């Protein structure tokens, strides 16, 4: 709901996402902050930020697939991996520039995801989750067993830095800006997709597939499309990852990563692009602060030993996810919306 | 108010309607295991007519509805809509051909707002591809706004302006049914099937919905098939009534004819020993 005194006088205004001057200012400030960030923060924090931007693309894909279309997907890391490997192979074998290899990598992931999307046509819920785990296993199996000349097998792929007009993205700062630009474009696109007829079809299929069939929505195609878009986003994220790390290996895309992506979606809030971004930020921030805190805890309590402390970190992170599932299953975004609503209605209850 | 608005329906009009039928079911049979839900039922829905299907519990009304909307595939007989055979068409193709239906109970998208629900009804009329949705500003947004205008007209017709931004999950039953009707209207159907729209409503809500059904007929000039339990509603609204009992059609005619039909009285009230 809008704050008091804000009235839409046209349909353009009424469906706009940025509705008040305050939101506009906040968005501009966020952009400025993101642009000056690498000049203010140290190299480690810039690296974490780049990581977050790449994750954001992948998790937005998962949000569209899982939060909007309601198709549980435990294979998002595999889709990301397909994108990373395809990007890497295209860049190495065919010398494609990054602005071609990343989109093609996204398309490769989209095709891979689409195949698993077809299984979502007949399978729902837990069983679909199991099927998408198959994507994860299949990805590992294929990469390790295909001829080594294709995807490097267990050696992985090593990439040259991305280049454009003679400028190469070697430094941490330059790759940060590349990721920022791509992520901004993908976030913009995601807001467009979920507001269009496709986004409504996703939510409709998730809510009630019988009724959505009778609305003229092709349920089969919609579910497969959700997987296709989700996997495309994962593939783009994978492509960025390939150019960021400049080394692609299977153990960067495990089931464990997929589960973290799901955790980010849930903590942020299902069915909200902004929620996905918040989820990435929160989970990644907690993870990284644990990694930073770990050694100092070990230093404080040497009797515990490094093994115990680092194992406990995972337990603690798992605890956070469990707490979210119990106390705030609809995520931070839901809580934020409640707060915003009650603030705008104050002092009245409704 | 449920005033008696049904026009007198002469036999010649009935025949004319048969000739220009929009939706025809011919000798359909539907059995679930040993239970025969529909047995050799034939009905024809004429242009601009309100046909009501009534019958005691378990008479096969909803099964007939599901056959007519292409949801069930009858084991015998055929359903034709504007001349083309329904069985074998995917449900979304049937909808695109112009058949809309509302549900018994609520099959509404409860996580969406009223506007979004009705916009889903516009889905079949919208064309924007995923790439154009990705860029959004431009063709996609223009299309959204164009269809939003249509949706606003429906919202106005159904008098739900004040709740247009509310999630449907938070609305009462009567309003949900109204949104369901709006969603069906947004498809701009050439025939509307309504499965027990009045079930579980209080008198006031029933009166409202009856008024909207009449408004819709007036505004859209489309045939409506109504499955309903409430006799008052049916007798007041319907041009023609089909009565089912144990899967068979036992009577057909104007409300007045059906009320006097001994087979109908027997089905509803049983046989007395006079």
CATH of the domain at B89: 3.40.50.300
Q: What is the mean pLDDT of residues A32-60?
A: 93
Q: For the residues of A166-198, what is the DSSP string, one character each?
A: TEE--SHHHHHHHHHHHHHHHHHHHHHHHHSHH
Confirm whether A52 is domain-assigned: yes
Provide the 3-class DSSP secondary structure of residue B215.
Answer: helix
pLDDT of residue A296: 81
Q: In this structure, are residues B236 and B210 in contact, taking their beta carbons and an 8 Å threshold?
A: yes
pLDDT band for position B273 (cuts 50, 70, 90) = low
Of residues B152, B92, B90, B95, the one with CA closest to residue B118: B152
Query: Across the interface, which of A216, A219, A271 has its CB nearest the CB of B124?
Result: A216
Q: Has residue B170 been placed in a domain?
A: no
Angstrom CA distances, B97 to A212, A238, B23, B94, B188, stand at: 16, 42, 12, 5, 10
Does a structural domain hold residue B122? no
Residue A235, pLDDT > 90, answer yes
pLDDT band at B7 (very low <50, low <70, confident <90, very high): very low
Our count of domains for chain A comes to: 1
Q: CA of A55, closest CA in chain B: separation in Å?
A: 19
The alpha carbon of residue A295 is apart from the nearest alpha carbon of chain B, in Å, by 44
User: Is residue A136 included in any domain, yes or no?
Assistant: yes
In a domain, A20, yes or no: no
Q: Which chain B residues have a beta carbon less than 8 Å from that of A12?
A: 141, 145
Let me know if residue A2 belongs to a domain: no
Pair of tokens at residue A166? 């003679």
Residue A15 within any structural domain of the chain: no
Residue A318: give its domain's CATH number.
Answer: 1.10.3470
pLDDT of residue B274: 56
Neighbours of A130 (CB within 10 A): 12
A329 lies in some domain: yes
Query: Within a domain: residue A29?
Result: no
Which chain A residues are Cβ-neighbours of B120 within 8 angstroms?
Answer: 200-201, 204, 212, 215, 217
Q: Which residue range(s) make up the domain with A50?
A: 34-345
Overall average pLDDT of the B203-207 stretch? 89
Q: Is the pLDDT of residue B2 over 60?
A: no
Residue B184 lies in a domain: no
By DSSP bridging, strand A247-248 and strand A157-158 are antiparallel
Nearest to A195 among B132, B136, B149 (CB): B136
> Does residue B27 form part of some domain?
yes
Q: How far apart are CA A140 and CA A82, in angstroms?
A: 10
pLDDT band at A102 (very low <50, low <70, confident <90, very high): very high
What pLDDT is attached to residue B272?
67
**Share above pLDDT 90 across residues of chain A, in percent, rounded to a whole number:** 49
Quote the number of domains for chain B: 1
Asked if residue B52 is part of any domain, the answer here is yes
Q: Output the pLDDT for position B115.
A: 94
Contact A197 B141 (CB under 8 A): no
Q: What is the pLDDT of residues A285-336, one digit of tens each?
A: 988 888 888 778 888 887 777 777 777 878 888 888 888 888 888 889 888 9
Query: Residue A300's pLDDT is what?
Result: 82
Alpha-carbon Rg for chain B in angstroms: 19
Give chain A's mean pLDDT: 89
Contact A196 B133 (CB under 8 A): yes
A276: contact with B, CB 8 A cutoff = no
Identify all chain A residues contacting B108, using CB atoms and an 8 Å cutoff. Answer: 208, 211
Rounded mean pLDDT, A180-189: 95
Strand partners, B191: B99
Contacts of B109 (CB under 8 A, 6+ apart): A203, A204, A207, A208, A211, A212, B116, B117, B120, B168
Pick from B103, B126, B134: CB nearest A211: B103
In-domain check, residue B174 = no
Given an 8 Å threshold on Cβ–Cβ distance, is B92 in contact with A218? yes
- CB contact under 8 Å between B124 and A215, yes or no, is yes
- Average of per-residue pLDDT across B161-183: 90
Q: What is the C-alpha separation between A165 and A239, in angstroms, rounded?
A: 20
Q: Which residue of B has its CA nearest to A197?
A: B123
| Residue at B143 is within a domain | no
Q: Domain residues for B36?
A: 1-98+225-274
- Closest partner CB to A203 (pick from B112, B145, B148): B112
Residue A216 sits at the chain B interface (C-beta within 8 Å) = yes
Q: Is the pLDDT of residue B8 over 60?
A: no
Cα atoms in the Cβ-side hemisphere of radius 13 Å centred on A218? 12
Residue A23, in any domain of the structure:
no
- The structure tokens listed for B102 are 């509302």
Long-range pairs for A37-44: beta carbons < 8 A, 24 or more residues apart: A37/A176, A38/A172, A38/A173, A38/A176, A38/A177, A39/A173, A43/A172
Whether residue B146 contacts residue B219, with contact meaning beta carbons closer than 8 Å, is answered with no
């Amino acid at each position: 709901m809008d704050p008091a005194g804000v009235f839409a006088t046209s349909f353009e205004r009424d469906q706009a996402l940025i509705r008040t001057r305050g939101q506009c200012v906040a968005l501009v400030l966020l952009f400025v902050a993101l642009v000056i960030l690498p000049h203010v923060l140290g190299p480690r924090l810039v690296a974490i930020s780049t990581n977050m931007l790449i994750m954001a693309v992948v998790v937005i894909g998962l949000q569209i697939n899982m939060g909007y279309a309601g198709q549980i997907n435990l294979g998002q890391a595999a889709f990301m991996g397909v994108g990373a490997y395809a990007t890497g192979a295209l860049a190495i074998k065919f010398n494609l520039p990054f602005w071609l290899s990343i989109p093609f990598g996204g398309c490769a992931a989209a095709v891979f995801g689409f195949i698993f999307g077809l299984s979502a046509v007949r399978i729902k819920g837990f069983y679909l989750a199991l099927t998408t785990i198959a994507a994860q296993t299949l990805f590992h199996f294929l990469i390790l067993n295909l001829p080594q000349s294709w995807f490097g097998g267990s050696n992985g792929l090593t990439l040259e830095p991305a280049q454009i007009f003679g400028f190469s993205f070697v430094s941490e700062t330059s790759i940060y800006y590349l990721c920022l630009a791509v992520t901004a474009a993908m976030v913009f696109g995601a807001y467009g997709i979920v507001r269009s007829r496709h986004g409504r079809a996703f939510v409709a299929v998730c809510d009630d597939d019988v009724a959505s069939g009778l609305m003229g929505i092709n349920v089969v195609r919609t579910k497969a499309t959700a997987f296709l878009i989700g996997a495309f986003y994962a593939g783009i994220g994978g492509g960025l990852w390939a150019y960021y790390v400049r080394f692609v290996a299977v153990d960067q895309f495990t089931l464990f990563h997929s589960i973290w992506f799901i955790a980010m979606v849930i903590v942020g809030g299902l069915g909200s692009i902004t929620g996905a971004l918040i989820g990435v930020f929160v989970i990644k921030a907690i993870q990284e602060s644990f990694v930073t805190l770990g050694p100092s805890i070990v230093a404080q309590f040497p009797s515990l030993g490094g093994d115990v402390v680092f194992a406990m970190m995972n337990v603690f992170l798992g605890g956070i996810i469990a707490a979210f599932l119990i106390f705030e299953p609809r995520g931070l975004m839901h809580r934020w919306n409640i707060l915003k609503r009650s603030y705008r209605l104050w002092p009245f209850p409704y | 108010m449920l005033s008696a608005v049904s026009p007198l329906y002469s036999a010649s009009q009935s025949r004319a309607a048969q000739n220009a039928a929009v939706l025809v079911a011919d000798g359909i049979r539907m059995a679930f295991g040993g239970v025969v839900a529909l047995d050799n039922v034939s009905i024809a829905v004429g242009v601009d007519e309100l046909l009501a299907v009534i019958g005691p519990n378990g008479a096969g009304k909803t099964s007939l509805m599901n056959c007519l909307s292409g949801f069930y595939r009858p084991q015998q007989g055929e359903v034709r809509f504007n001349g083309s055979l329904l069985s074998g068409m995917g449900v979304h193709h049937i909808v695109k051909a112009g058949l809309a239906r509302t549900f018994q109970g609520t099959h509404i998208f409860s996580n969406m707002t009223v506007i979004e629900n009705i916009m889903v009804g516009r889905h079949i009329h919208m064309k924007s591809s995923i790439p154009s949705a990705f860029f959004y500003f431009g063709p996609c947004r223009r299309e959204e706004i164009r269809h939003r205008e249509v949706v606003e007209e429906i919202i106005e017709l159904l008098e739900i302006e004040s709740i247009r931004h509310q999630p449907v999950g938070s609305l009462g039953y009567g309003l949900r049914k109204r949104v369901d009707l709006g969603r069906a209207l947004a498809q701009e159907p050439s025939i509307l099937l309504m499965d027990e729209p009045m079930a579980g409503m209080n008198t006031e809500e029933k009166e409202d919905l009856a008024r909207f059904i009449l408004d819709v007929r007036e505004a859209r000039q489309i045939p409506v098939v109504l499955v309903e339990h409430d006799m008052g509603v049916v007798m007041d609204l319907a041009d023609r009534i089909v009565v089912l009992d144990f899967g068979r059609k036992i009577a057909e005619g104007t409300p007045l004819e059906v009320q006097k039909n001994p087979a109908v009285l027997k089905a509803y009230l049983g046989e007395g020993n006079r």
